[in-house]
C-alpha cells in the first residue's frame, strides 16, 4: 500500500514539475539567434522550431541536436506539391503538431494538421482540414492538453480560431475573437487560456507587435451541419451572379460558433527591431515565455520582401526572446 502511495505521489509531482503555466508579468532574460522563422514549442527535454520548410530540435542549452529541411532526397512534407509551408507548432505526447499549407502572398490552400514524431522528426499522419468551417489559412497551432483539442489560428482572417478533436481527428468548433487580433501569427494554450501573437505592428515604421490573451475554457461543441450559406469570394466578400444576386451553396457548413473577449497581454517593445512576430511557447522546466521574432526585412502580406539595407541589414534575422516569469 505504501509503495502504491509513493508511486502515485511521484506521478503527481512529476506532472506538476513539467506542467506549463502562464504568468501575468515577465521580464526579458536573453535573446537566442536561430535559423528558423516560423514556430516554437517545448517539452521537458527539447525546444522545437519550425522554419517555412524545416524542423529543428535543440536541447535546453540551445545546442542543435537534429534538423530536417525539405529536399527531394529527404522530403519533409508528405505532399510538397500541395502543401509546403509550416506555421507555428506545438509538441504533445511525443508528437509535433504543425499547421501545414500552401501559402503565397496572404493566401493559404490545402491546409492540414501534419503530425511528426518528436524523436525522429519523421511524418506520421495528416489530420484533414474542414474548409466548411470557414478557415482559409493556418498561421499557428496549439494543443489544449486539458480539453484534448487542437486549435488553429488564421492569419488571413483572424476573427476566428478553429478547434479539432485529438480523439476523433475531426473539426470540433470555432471561437470568435473580440476584438480581432489582426494578422494573428502564433497561439499557445495553458491553464484554460489562449495566448496570441499578433503581427499588428508595422516593420516599415518600427511599430511593435503585441501579445493578447483569452479564456477558452469550456469551449462548446458545434461541429458541422447541413445548411445553406453564401459563397465567399474572399473572407470579406460574397460572390454574386450576373444579376448581382448572392451565390449560395447547400451542404456542410459550420454548425455554430462562440465568442470570447481578448485583452492585451504584452506590448513587445523590447524586440531589437520591430519586424514579424511568430510563434510562442512556455518552457515546462522554468515557465519562461519564449517568443520568436524576425527582424531586418520589410514584410508585405506575410512575406519578406528584402532587407532594410539602409539600416545595414543584408538578411532577415530570426531570434527567440526568452522572458522570465515574475508573477
pTM: 0.91
Residues 167 and 239 in one domain: no
Helix residue ranges, H only, 52-178: none
DSSP string, 202-238: BTTTTB--EEEEEE-TTPPP--EEEEEEEPEEETTEE
**77 and 180 together in one domain:** yes
Measure the CA–CA gap between 21 and 16, rounded to whole angstroms.
10
What letters, b where the CB count within 10 A reaches 16 and e where it falls short, cover 97-124?
A: bbbbbbbeeeebebbbbbbbebeebebe
Same domain? 173 vs 232: no
| Predicted confidence (pLDDT) per residue in 180-219, tens digit | 988 999 999 999 999 999 999 988 888 999 999 999 999 9
State how many domains the chain has: 2
- Cell numbers describing residue 253: 457548413
253 exposure class (CB count in 10 Å sphere: 0-12, 13-18, 19+): middle
Share of the chain above pLDDT 70, in %: 94
**One domain, residues 122 and 133:** yes
Q: Specify the pLDDT at position 18.
A: 66
Q: Which domain holds residue 216?
A: 27-220+257-325
With cut-offs at 50, 70 and 90, classify the pLDDT of residue 303. confident
Q: Is the pLDDT of residue 17 over 80?
A: no
Confidence (pLDDT) at 207: 92
- If asked whether residues 267 and 320 sit together in one domain, one would say yes
Residue 3, in any domain of the structure? no
Q: Kindly state the DSSP code that residue 7 receives in the 8-state scheme.
A: H
Q: How many residues in the chain? A: 327
pLDDT higher than 70, residue 81:
yes
Residues 113 and 33 in one domain: yes
The confidence score (pLDDT) of residue 202 equals: 87
pLDDT of residue 106: 65
- What number is the average pLDDT over the span 50-66? 97
Same structural domain for residues 186 and 247?
no
Q: Give domain status of residue 6, yes or no.
A: no
Does 273 have pLDDT greater than 60?
yes
Examine residue 11 and state whether it is found in any structural domain, yes or no: no
- Count other Cβ atoms within 10 Å, centred on residue 163: 23
3 phi and psi angles, rounded to 5 deg: -60, -45
Question: Has residue 16 got a pLDDT over 80?
Answer: no
Amino acid at each position: 500500500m505504501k509503495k502504491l502511495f509513493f508511486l502515485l505521489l511521484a506521478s503527481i509531482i512529476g506532472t506538476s514539475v513539467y506542467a506549463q503555466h502562464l504568468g501575468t508579468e515577465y521580464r526579458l532574460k536573453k535573446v537566442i539567434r536561430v535559423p528558423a522563422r516560423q514556430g516554437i514549442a517545448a517539452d521537458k527535454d527539447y525546444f522545437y522550431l519550425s522554419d517555412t520548410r524545416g524542423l529543428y530540435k535543440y536541447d535546453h542549452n540551445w545546442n542543435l541536436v537534429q534538423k530536417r529541411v525539405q529536399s527531394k532526397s529527404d522530403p519533409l512534407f508528405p505532399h510538397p506539391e500541395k502543401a509546403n509551408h509550416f506555421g507555428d507548432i506545438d509538441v504533445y505526447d511525443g508528437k509535433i503538431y504543425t499547421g501545414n499549407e500552401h501559402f503565397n502572398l496572404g493566401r493559404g490552400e490545402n491546409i492540414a494538421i501534419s503530425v511528426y514524431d518528436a524523436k525522429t522528426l519523421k511524418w506520421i499522419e495528416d489530420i484533414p482540414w474542414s474548409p466548411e468551417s470557414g478557415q482559409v489559412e493556418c498561421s499557428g497551432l496549439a494543443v489544449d492538453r486539458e480539453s484534448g483539442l487542437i486549435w488553429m489560428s488564421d492569419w488571413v482572417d483572424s476573427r476566428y480560431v478553429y478547434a479539432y478533436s485529438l480523439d476523433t481527428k475531426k473539426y470540433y468548433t470555432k471561437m470568435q475573437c473580440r476584438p480581432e487580433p489582426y494578422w494573428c501569427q502564433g497561439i499557445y494554450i495553458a491553464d484554460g487560456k489562449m495566448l496570441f501573437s499578433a503581427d499588428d505592428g508595422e516593420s516599415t515604421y518600427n511599430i511593435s507587435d503585441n501579445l493578447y490573451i483569452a479564456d477558452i475554457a469550456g469551449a462548446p461543441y458545434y461541429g458541422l451541419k447541413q445548411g445553406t450559406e453564401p459563397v465567399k469570394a474572399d473572407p470579406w466578400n460574397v460572390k454574386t451572379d450576373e444579376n448581382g444576386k448572392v451565390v449560395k451553396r447547400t451542404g456542410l457548413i459550420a454548425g455554430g460558433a462562440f465568442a470570447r473577449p481578448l485583452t492585451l497581454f504584452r506590448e513587445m517593445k523590447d524586440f531589437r527591431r520591430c519586424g514579424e512576430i511568430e510563434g510562442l511557447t512556455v518552457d515546462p522546466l522554468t515557465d519562461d515565455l519564449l517568443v520568436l521574432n524576425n527582424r531586418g526585412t520589410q514584410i508585405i502580406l506575410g512575406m519578406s520582401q528584402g532587407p532594410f539595407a539602409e539600416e545595414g541589414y543584408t538578411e532577415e534575422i530570426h531570434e527567440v526572446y526568452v522572458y522570465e516569469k515574475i508573477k
